[in-house]
Structure 1
Amino acid sequence: MDNAAFPELSCYLLPGHTTSPADAIAEAQQAEALGLGRVWLSERFDVKDAGVICAAALATTQRIRVATAATNLHTRHPMVLATMGASLHYLSHGRFEMGLSRGVAIRNQLMGLDNVSNQQIVEGVELLRTLWRGEKVMGYQGAMGNLPYLNMGDWMQAEIPLHFVGFGPTSLRFAGAHFDGIHLHTFITPRGLQRARALVSEGAEAAGRDPGKINIHAVLATACRPTREDYLRKLVARMATYMQAPGYAELLIELNGWDTAVLEAFRASEVVKSIPGGIDSVATLEQLEEISELIPAEWLHAATGEPEDCARAWQQELDNGADGVVIHGSTSEEFTPVLDAYRRLSANAAM
């Protein structure tokens, strides 16, 4: 089940917006055929329901692991979420992993949901693990609500890895204390990745846990032989959209040790203020050219260039403290040449 050629490499299912969720089946099968260790699904409230898409991917593959990155604790009742996880676990003979995040604040508000607190996450994770061990939850009153009695059956023994999807310093310490792994974010620099590892370890040690057992999955945008348009749309537009969101880019800046003045100048620029919506969705190439002048090259940490350059960038993520690399921004057809180069690189290193 875990005999993947490249267990340390993974990619996304249905990246971004889609109107054809059935594509997840072929994408998962192709990732498995390429030898990747897992695929990740970022849930959306349209046609990307985590339970449905993960079930389709798991039922039509044999080896590859399938994980959410992410779903939320508060959009399903704890018993419903536990049932979803257990069903996927037993359906796939243990190939399902669950990634959880706090959710987007504005979306929570629009859906009439409160934001998720750390205490809610701690208690929610413990409820899931309790139910998956076949134990009963009785008379619970806490951050997850009022739960008089929950039980999935004492035969249940589902060991499902739980990942936290986040990248702020506080979140990294928190993940180290409570989760099996952490799924990071695009554009985290080598310095930021090393700091992320240190923060996760700090949180684990404070909680009496072994830092070496907490897996860090670094997300690396990959653009093999990019055209100028590829560069602008896959890297510049993506980073620019993150920089538009209040409070979002600030976390990247803090982790990477960047200059906040760059962000202030970006948000004050006329071209950015003139764009009515997410830059990656509506900006023209001419606007992206202007915006590219506002973003320092070192802020666009990615695997770019020839296949060999990209393969070395993947390896450097592992050398800098990641346990796995999540290939972002490329289809399997686009990153296959990089995978071939990575195979050669790994073979040479083993000699």
Structure 2
Amino acid sequence: MTTSLRLNNDLSVAQFVELTVTAERLGFDQVWVSDDLFLRSAPVMVAAAAVATSRVGLGIGIMNPYSVHPAEIAMTSATLAELSGGRFLLGVAAGAEEFLGWAGIPRPKPLTRTREAVRALQVLGAGGRPVEHEDTGPGWTAEAHLRFPAAAPVYVGAMSPKMLGMAGAVADGVLPLLYPPEHFPTARDLVHAGAVEAGRDPASVDLAAAFWVSVDEDRAAAERALAEKIAYYGASFSPYLLERAGLAVADFAGIQAALAAGEVGRATDLVTPQMLGLGIAGDADEVVRRCRWLQDEGATHLSFGPPLGPDPVRAVTVLGEQVLPRL
């Protein structure tokens, strides 16, 4: 079984490095960091972690082809693969339309653009030229190739059915965001169907069960930490996923208004028990119970995402010492 830790780029570089070093010591296989706009630079954070670790895989989940051109993503990926000794993992997705909108960046044809970016990045990482392939998008010339190719596995962050199917068809791995975790069987079937349709063996795709978790002996404290994360990101979730949890983007209107007014505490208070069900909150026993269900459904890669708990270092330690050995 593969285990990974997903962290947000709202952490300081020092905090991220400390958590990554802790995760490596506790036996996690991978550590990922988001690259959300207007927070810290994920490539810089991964570079800092690369020089502080020696074994654990290091990923950015995700970069998007709208705010950064695939050529520059390829440069970043190859450089981090070189720096880390081949441990770098690249996550690509269309990105959240709301967050891109903050910078006035349009997001046309997300499925097409993401697929083209994935293929171009795979070709560039292998030392090839995108212009020689029909599925890498327009605009490339014969001079568009890396002068120091260094391949990294390309994962796709996906939520919608079409994006999940596309990821199964072309990606090396998939990070399906499971809000709630019980969405895994549906996501799995969509990824596998995409792989089969493309003539691929579904087992060749590293399919992560990527969920949010907040662990603490104090259940109320664990739920509060998760509620803060849901308050910030909930409205940007795919309507498709929210609908499966009995929710809609409109349900987060009051939360969004509170956040816009700078009232983070009030926004957190407005997160309902139904919204908390989008992730896992509780003690180690509760996390193990929910994870064993995922394993029973065929999950071979468990990916634990933020907030992890009211004390992130303690939470990662609990996951490594009390959860992973039981799975």
Q: 1:165 to 1:116 in 2, by over 3 A?
A: farther
Confirm whether residue 203 of structure 1 aligns to residue 183 of structure 2.
no
Taking every aligned residue pair, what percent have the same amino acid on both sides? 23
Bigger RCO of structures 1 and 2 (CA < 8 A, at least 6 apart): 2
Which moves more between the two structures, 163-172 or 142-151?
Answer: 142-151
User: What is the SS of the residue equivalent to 1:127?
Assistant: helix
How far apart, in 2, do the equivalents of 1:107 and 1:114 lie? 10
How far apart, in 1, do the equivalents of 2:290 and 2:188 lie? 18
How far apart, in 2, do the equivalents of 1:309 and 1:273 lie? 27
Q: Give the corresponding residue for 1:4.
A: none
Q: Give the corresponding residue for 1:176.
A: 168
User: What is the SS of the residue equivalent to 1:174?
Assistant: helix
How far apart, in 2, do the equivalents of 1:183 and 1:280 lie? 31
* Counterpart mapping for 1:3-22 below 5 A: 8-13=2-7, 15=8, 17-18=10-11, 20-22=12-14
* Cα deviation code 1:85-107 (max 9, x no counterpart): 11111222210000011112233
How far apart, in 2, do the equivalents of 1:183 and 1:56 lie? 23
Query: Counterpart amino acid of 2:282?
Result: T
* Cα deviation code 1:15-52 (max 9, x no counterpart): 3524x323322222111111111111101344522322
How far apart, in 2, do the equivalents of 1:90 and 1:273 lie? 43
* Counterpart mapping for 1:226-265 below 5 A: 226-231=218-223, 233-245=224-236, 248=237, 250-254=239-243, 257-259=244-246, 263=248
Q: 1:281 to 1:172 in 2, by over 3 A?
A: farther
Which moves more between the two structures, 272-281 or 111-120?
Answer: 272-281
Q: Give the corresponding residue for 1:312.
A: 289
How far apart, in 2, do the equivalents of 1:181 and 1:281 lie? 38
Q: 2:272 aligns with which of 276, 292, 295?
A: 292
How far apart, in 2, do the equivalents of 1:95 and 1:179 lie? 17
How far apart, in 1, do the equivalents of 2:74 and 2:246 lie? 42
How far apart, in 2, do the equivalents of 1:65 and 1:243 lie? 28
User: What is the SS of the residue equivalent to 1:277?
Assistant: helix
TM-score by length of 2: 0.84
Gap regions ≥5 residues in structure 2: none
Q: CA deviation at 1:296?
A: 6.9
Q: CA RMSD in A?
A: 3.1
Query: Would you say the 8 A contact 1:312–1:342 is kept in 2?
Result: no
Query: Counterpart amino acid of 1:189?
Result: P
* Cα deviation code 1:212-246 (max 9, x no counterpart): 11122222313232342431x2234444555545x
* Counterpart mapping for 1:46-85 below 5 A: 46=38, 48-85=40-77
Q: Which has the larger radius of gyration?
A: 1
Query: Would you say the 8 A contact 1:215–1:322 is kept in 2?
Result: no
Confirm whether residue 41 of structure 1 aligns to residue 44 of structure 2.
no
Query: Would you say the 8 A contact 1:169–1:199 is kept in 2?
Result: yes
How far apart, in 1, do the equivalents of 2:23 and 2:262 lie? 26
TM-score by length of 1: 0.79
Q: 1:125 to 1:291 in 2, by over 3 A?
A: closer
* Counterpart mapping for 1:110-121 below 5 A: 110-117=102-109, 118-121=111-114
How far apart, in 1, do the equivalents of 2:132 and 2:104 lie? 26
Q: Give the corresponding residue for 1:104.
A: 96
User: What is the SS of the residue equivalent to 1:164?
Assistant: strand
Q: Give the corresponding residue for 2:206.
A: 215
How far apart, in 2, do the equivalents of 1:143 and 1:48 lie? 29
